[in-house]
């Protein structure tokens, strides 16, 4: 039986029409049900509540551990009513793999090599890979076993990946894309990114 990727706390971007343009706001899942999702609604976006009345057609981008799930939905309960509830219909979902929320985060990132582990520092992280800095010359398409430190209190994340591209504007900056990683480990990275995003949003409010 497949693991249900819809969980409390996942980020959901809601896209809807506001007059002659389309607007996107960030919300989070408060309560998932089989046919609907109860979402948070940011106080800073209350001006958009009139555009989200019951029956309004919207598009929702749900950031799950498998990537971004895109669904066509409608508003069941408007934010005006105290709860923001939208339809969740699995028949209309589309999964875009290898597209994840990426957040700046500096931490230890190790590449395993025959001549010894190479210690680098990450620039940003996502469920799909790591951008990092090293003075050691690396080639595109090289494969490595890697370890990422999310915090000092848990074992490091282990994965295998490939050097996807080199930043031509910064000679010491590279990107590694995960090729093999346990989904539970990927989920830890995604949750870390969501936590970083929430912290960032609080400091900018």
Distance from C-alpha of 93 to C-alpha of 58, rounded to nearest angstrom: 13
**Of all helices (H) and strands (E), which one includes residue 201?**
helix 183-204
Q: Specify the range with the lowest mean pLDDT, choosing from 7-11, 26-30, 41-45, 73-77.
A: 7-11
Q: Determine the pLDDT at residue 168.
A: 59
What's the pLDDT at 16? 93
pTM: 0.54
- Quick check: 76 and 86 in contact, CB under 8 A? yes
Query: pLDDT value at position 204?
Result: 57
pLDDT value for 62? 85
pLDDT at 68: 72
- Which residues, in sequence order, are bridge partners of residue 95? 69
Say what the pLDDT of residue 1 is: 37
Give burial (CB, 10 Å; 0-12/13-18/19+) of 48. middle
- The rounded distance, in Å, linking the Cα atoms of 105 and 68 is 21
Write out pLDDT tens, residues 44-97: 888 999 999 999 999 998 877 556 788 889 999 999 877 899 999 766 555 555
- Running DSSP on this structure, what letter comes out for residue 88? -
pLDDT digits (tens, 9 = 90+) for 92-126: 555 555 567 889 999 999 999 888 889 999 999 99
Coil, strand, or helix at residue 98? coil
Q: What is the pLDDT of residues 127-168, one digit of tens each?
A: 989 999 999 988 877 889 999 999 888 899 999 988 876 665
183: which DSSP letter? Answer: H
**Burial track 150-165 (b if 16+ CB lie within 10 A, e otherwise):** beeeeebbebebebbe
Cα 158 from Cα 176, distance rounded (Å) = 13
């Amino acid at each position: 039986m497949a693991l249900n990727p819809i969980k409390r706390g996942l980020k959901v971007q809601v896209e809807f029409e506001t007059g002659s343009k389309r607007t996107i706001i960030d919300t989070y899942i408060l309560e998932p049900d089989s046919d609907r999702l109860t979402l948070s609604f940011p106080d800073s976006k209350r001006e958009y509540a009139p555009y989200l009345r019951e029956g309004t057609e919207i598009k929702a981008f749900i950031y799950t551990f498998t990537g971004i799930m895109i669904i066509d939905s409608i508003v069941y309960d408007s934010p005006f009513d105290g709860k923001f509830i939208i339809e969740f219909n699995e028949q209309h979902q589309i999964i875009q793999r290898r597209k994840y929320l990426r957040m700046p985060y500096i931490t230890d990132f190790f590449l395993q090599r025959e001549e010894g582990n190479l210690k680098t520092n990450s620039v940003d992280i996502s469920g799909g890979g790591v951008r990092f800095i090293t003075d050691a010359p690396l080639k595109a398409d090289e494969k490595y076993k890697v370890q990422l430190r999310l915090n000092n209190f848990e074992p490091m994340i282990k994965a295998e990946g490939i050097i996807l591209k080199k930043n031509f504007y910064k000679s010491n900056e590279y990107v590694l894309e995960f090729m093999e990683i346990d989904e539970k480990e990927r989920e830890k990275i995604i949750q870390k990114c969501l936590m970083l995003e929430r912290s960032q949003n609080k400091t900018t409010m």
